[in-house]
């Protein structure tokens, strides 16, 4: 694997994810951008915090990869 | 849209000089390598992308790196969690406030509930209503109002749905006259007073720090450091002036008179110097001025995206005439071909770009996004 490939791979996956496209790597799994709405989190000490909305990357492994 | 292996290879080949075949081989090598490392019980890290590893249950997992996380989440950059309710030991003292923001599932003391039932309702309604409304909506369309903790930070600013207005006006009323609602809350007033004092002190410190009072302090007690720093040049002409103007002065008076203009000039000079000093670093990044050559990657506020190069160039020229640091970048769009993007400003961080974008005129503020140039 050479570094230009890795660099391009990272860029392409990132750009596609930002465009809300899912990227599937054969034999590995699928990357997706998931939107998390704002939600309240309650800590043990009674503190309630409102978490901001966010977009997160989620990876789902391909069935075969699960050993 | 789904990007499968084939499409991914195409995109990678487009980005580099690699032909599709090599890219294909490299990709399968990467996949094999990830699996191999994971099977050994180790984690494989792709710098700036993430970590592949197998969890204890044997499932392959991926943890995105900080860089990927922030770049993918650029829409909500800079949003911090907001505290809705204080930790328990403090909250107990704020009985009225704490009770109200309590979620429904938590049991409430009977008496409190009866007396404050009405007030509890509106708050719960708002949070419930907001949650339900935005459940299926697009992130950008989420409800924005002055009571939304993240309202000010959102990119889009859709209109407030009219049916909710009564709720907010009620809420505002409640907030504007807290003394009537609960007269026995001295801690609130104490905290407010303390914060006010703190703000005033900080304000004074800032004013002194930034040298707004330089001239004043210079006159009051000609600061020795200021004078000694810039002694050689300004001293000579000033002395000449005073001597010629009014020769019959005693030694003491002369000294006093000397001191005054000298320190004034010194402080003015120092201001000039400090201005020059602060100017230079800010020129590398910023919204206005000339476009700089920056080796590292930087962020820019992209206002227009054109298919036509000439249109993009003329828009850029207009923006330059308005005093912005306008630049053009190209972007290969999958379906539309080459897009010419016109951006303004160069910023070191996403956050600073975001902040600058918020201060743009209305027509730009509503319709922009932050781009990364690397």
Provide the whole-model pTM. 0.38
The percentage of chain B sitting over the pLDDT mark of 90, rounded to a whole number, equals 5
pLDDT per residue as tens digits for the range B314-337: 888 888 888 888 888 887 776 677
CB-based contact A9 B3, cutoff 8 Å: no
Query: Is A57 close to B85, i.e. CB distance below 8 A?
Result: no
Q: Which positions in chain B touch A9 (Cβ < 8 Å)?
A: 8, 12, 26-27, 30, 49
User: Does residue B72 have a pLDDT over 80?
Assistant: yes
Picking from A15, A9, A55, A13, the residue whose alpha carbon sits closest to that of residue A31 is A13
- B3 and A23 in contact by Cβ < 8 A? yes
Calculate the average pLDDT of chain B: 68
Q: In what order do the strands lie in the sheet with B337-347?
A: B326-333, B337-347, B298-306, B369-373
Confidence of residue B266 (pLDDT cuts 50, 70, 90): very low
Is the pLDDT assigned to residue B262 strictly greater than 60?
Answer: no
pLDDT at position B196: 93
Give residue A34's region: left, alpha or beta (phi > 0; psi -120 to 50). beta
* pLDDT the model gives residue B214: 56
Report chain B residues whose CB lies below 8 A from the CB of A40.
84, 103, 127
Say what the pLDDT of residue A22 is.
92
Round to whole Å and give the CA distance between B352 and B299.
9
Q: Is A27 on the interface with B (CB under 8 A)?
A: yes
Which of the four pLDDT bands, split at 50, 70 and 90, describes residue B65? very high
d(CA B336, CA A14): 19
Q: How many CB atoms lie within 10 A of CB A44?
A: 7
User: What DSSP designation does A33 have?
Assistant: E
Q: Reduced to 3 DSSP states, what percent helix, strand and coil does chain A have, rounded to the nearest 5?
A: 30, 40, 30
**Neighbour-count burial of B360, counting CB atoms closer than 10 A to its CB (0-12 exposed, 13-18 middle, 19+ buried):** middle
pLDDT band for position B90 (cuts 50, 70, 90): low
Confidence tier at B263 by pLDDT (50, 70, 90): very low
Contact B218, B266 (CB under 8 A): yes
Q: What is the pLDDT of residues A10-50, one digit of tens each?
A: 989 999 999 999 999 888 889 999 999 999 999 888 889 99
The mean pLDDT of B244-250, rounded to a whole number, is: 46
* pLDDT given at position B200: 92
Q: What percent of chain B has pLDDT over 70?
A: 55
Residue B340: left if φ>0, alpha if ψ -120 to 50, beta else—which one?
beta
Average pLDDT, integer, range B240-255? 46
Closest Cα to residue B357, out of B153, B170, B199, B195?
B153
The pLDDT, as a whole number, for residue B159 is: 46
Contacts of residue A34 in chain B, CB cutoff 8 Å? none
Q: Considering only alpha carbons, which residue of chain B is nearest residue A2? A: B26
Q: What is the pLDDT of residue B149?
A: 55
Question: Which residue on chain B is closest to A24 by alpha carbon?
Answer: B4
A32 touches chain B (CB under 8 A): no
pLDDT at position B22 is 86
Q: Residue A26: list chain B partners with CB under 8 A.
A: 4-5, 28, 31
Q: Give the chain B residue nearest A47 (alpha carbons).
A: B87
B92-150 pLDDT, tens per residue? 555 544 444 444 444 444 444 444 444 444 444 444 444 444 444 444 444 444 455 55
Of the two residues B117 and B338, the one the predictor is more confident about is: B338
DSSP code at position B293: -
């Amino acid at each position: 694997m050479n570094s230009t490939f890795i660099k391009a791979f990272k860029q392409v996956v990132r750009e596609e994810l930002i465009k809300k496209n899912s990227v599937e790597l054969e034999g590995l799994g699928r990357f997706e951008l998931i939107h998390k709405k704002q939600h309240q989190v309650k800590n043990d000490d009674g503190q309630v915090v409102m978490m901001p909305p966010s977009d997160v990357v989620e990876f789902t492994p391909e069935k075969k990869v699960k050993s | 849209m789904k990007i499968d292996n084939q499409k991914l290879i195409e995109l990678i080949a487009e980005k580099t000089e690699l032909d599709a075949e090599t890219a294909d081989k490299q990709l399968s090598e990467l996949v094999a390598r990830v699996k191999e490392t994971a099977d050994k019980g180790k984690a494989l890290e792709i710098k700036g992308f993430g970590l592949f590893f197998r969890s204890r249950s044997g499932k392959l997992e991926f943890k995105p790196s900080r860089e990927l996380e922030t770049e993918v989440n650029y829409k909500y950059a800079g949003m911090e969690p907001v505290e809705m309710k204080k930790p328990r030991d403090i909250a107990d003292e704020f009985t009225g406030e704490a009770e109200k923001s309590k979620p429904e599932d938590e049991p409430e003391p009977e008496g409190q509930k009866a007396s404050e039932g009405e007030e509890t309702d509106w708050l719960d309604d708002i949070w419930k209503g907001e949650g339900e409304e935005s459940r299926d909506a697009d992130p950008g369309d989420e409800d924005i109002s002055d009571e939304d903790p993240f309202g000010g930070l959102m990119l889009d600013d859709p209109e407030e749905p009219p049916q909710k207005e009564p709720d907010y006006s009620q809420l505002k009323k409640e907030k504007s006259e807290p003394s009537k609602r609960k007269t026995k809350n001295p801690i609130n007033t104490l905290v407010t007073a303390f914060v006010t004092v703190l703000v005033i002190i900080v304000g004074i410190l800032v004013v002194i720090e930034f040298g707004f009072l330089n001239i004043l302090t210079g006159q009051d007690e000609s600061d020795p450091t200021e004078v000694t720093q810039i002694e050689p040049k300004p001293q000579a002409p000033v002395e000449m002036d005073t001597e010629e103007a009014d020769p019959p002065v005693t030694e003491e008076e002369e000294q006093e008179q000397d001191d005054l203009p000298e320190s004034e000039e010194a402080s003015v000079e120092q201001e000039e110097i400090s201005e020059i000093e602060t100017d230079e670093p800010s020129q590398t990044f910023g919204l206005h001025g000339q476009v700089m050559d920056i080796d590292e990657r930087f962020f820019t506020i992209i206002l227009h995206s054109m298919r036509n190069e000439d249109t993009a160039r003329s828009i850029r020229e207009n923006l330059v005439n308005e005093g912005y640091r306008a630049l053009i970048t190209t972007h290969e769009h999958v379906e539309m071909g080459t897009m010419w993007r016109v951006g303004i400003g160069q910023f070191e961080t996403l956050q600073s770009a975001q902040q600058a974008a918020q201060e743009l005129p209305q027509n730009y503020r509503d319709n922009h996004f932050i781009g990364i140039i690397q």
